[in-house]
Structure formats: structure tokens, C-alpha cells
Amino acid sequence: MSEEKTVILRVDSSMRQHGSVSRELAEYVVAQLRADLPDSEIVWRDLKSGVGHVNSAWRDASLGSPATRSGEDRALLAQSDALIAEVERADIMVFAVPIYNFSIPAALKAWVDMVCRDNVDGATATFSGGRERQKQAIVIMTSNHTRAGADDEFATAFLQFILRFIGCTNVNMIDVTGLANDRADIIRAAQEKIETVCKATVSRNISAAAE
């Protein structure tokens, strides 16, 4: 755990700034966590403006050892380094994820590539950027029509795998899909689940800090 305080990393991947259910519920999650962890530090990473993508120069820089990297190489990897550092520090991660075309938004996939850069080509089975400690994740999964767990929904399994890969021993998925059918009831049910999940997350966080 963080020695001084709990660090909560919030990652928004909706391209909508206003009227976004995933953003609104991520805010609700953070408020619930802060109610029981008032001294926690909130780190907010909004992907609406995008992050860098893997290209040839970036990949060549990432393959070199830190000792041999040029100034240009370090500049190319600076954003990746910053994103990895945010994950490394986080005790609890909150992801707001709308489903776009059956899967996660492109900006969130780019974030994954920047964070898991040593495994871009499947070269490693471990995340080199993380410390050996438990992390927890809460994922708000929203959509108008695609339903979580359906044959045409590919976001859930991918995110669960990636979050385990970067060190999350506990991943809670909040299903807020199918909003076009019964928006009010689905959001209400999601809020109720969020309250339960946040209580359990805080309890595990406090227990881990005491170990």
C-alpha cells in the first residue's frame, strides 16, 4: 500500500465530456470511496484527448535498455513512463468504460499499450512496472445496446485480463449496459451495486494497510 495515504487512480475513456453515464458513475464511485477514505489522493487520467500510439520509433525506444536510451528515446517514452508511474502508485483504480463497437474505446487500448509496453509483442507474462502488492479495480461498463456477457461483447474479458496483468487481485465489474432499454432502473441498480462494492473495497484496503 502507499505509505502515506491511499491512492485512487480514476481513468475516464468516454469521448463525451457532458452527458456521459460512465463519467457520472465514476464520479459516484470516487465520492463513495472518499467518504470512507477522506485522506486518499485522487489521480485523474482523462483519455478524452487521447494518448500516444505505438509506432516504429516508440517501439524501438522501448526495446532499448534505460542506460542506452538517447534523449529522443526518453522523450518518446515520457508519457508511457508517466502512465506506468500512476498505475504503480495506485491502490484502487476506477475505470469508466463505454463500449464502442463491441469493445473498449481506442484511447483506452492505447493507454493499455503505453502501460504494458514490455508486453506489446507478448514477450513477458508479468508487469514490470508494478510493485508486489495488492491493487483493486472497479470498472464501470456502460452501453446503450450491447449487453455485458453477450457473444458480441469483447470488453469485459479483455479488461479483466489486463487488470490482473497489472496487479489487480480484485476486479469488480459494474454492469451498466443496455441503457436504451431501461435507463433509470439500470443506473439505479448500478448505484446500489457501487455502494456495496465500494464498502467492500475500502474494507479490503484498510485490512491490507494493516498487514
**Is residue 1, in this structure, part of any structural domain at all?**
no
Q: Is 175 helix (H, G, I), strand (E, B) or coil?
A: strand
Q: What proportion of the chain, given as a percentage, has pLDDT over 90?
A: 83
**Is residue 64, in this structure, part of any structural domain at all?**
yes
Range of 56's domain?
7-210
pLDDT for residue 208: 82
In the predicted model, what is the mean pLDDT of residues 107-136? 76
Joined together, the cell numbers standing for residue 206 give 484498510
CATH code of 25's domain: 3.40.50.360
| Residue 124 pLDDT exceeds 60 | no
Joined together, the cell numbers standing for residue 5 give 495515504
Position of cell 461483447?
Answer: 153
**Is residue 128, in this structure, part of any structural domain at all?**
yes
What phi-psi label fits residue 102: left (phi over 0), alpha (psi between -120 and 50 degrees) or beta?
left
**Is residue 93, in this structure, part of any structural domain at all?**
yes
| Residue 176 pLDDT exceeds 90 | yes
Instruction: Give the pLDDT band (50/70/90) at residue 126.
Output: low
Of 79-88, 96-105, 111-120, 143-152, the least confident: 111-120
Instruction: Give the pLDDT band (50/70/90) at residue 125.
Output: low
pLDDT for residue 148: 97
Q: What proportion of the chain, given as a percentage, has pLDDT over 70?
A: 91
Q: With CA atoms as reference, report the closest residue to 186 among 139, 138, 144, 137.
A: 144
The domain tally of the chain equals: 1
In the predicted model, what is the mean pLDDT of residues 94-114? 97
Instruction: Give the pLDDT band (50/70/90) at residue 206.
Output: confident
Q: With CA atoms as reference, report the closest residue to 189 among 155, 140, 117, 154.
A: 140
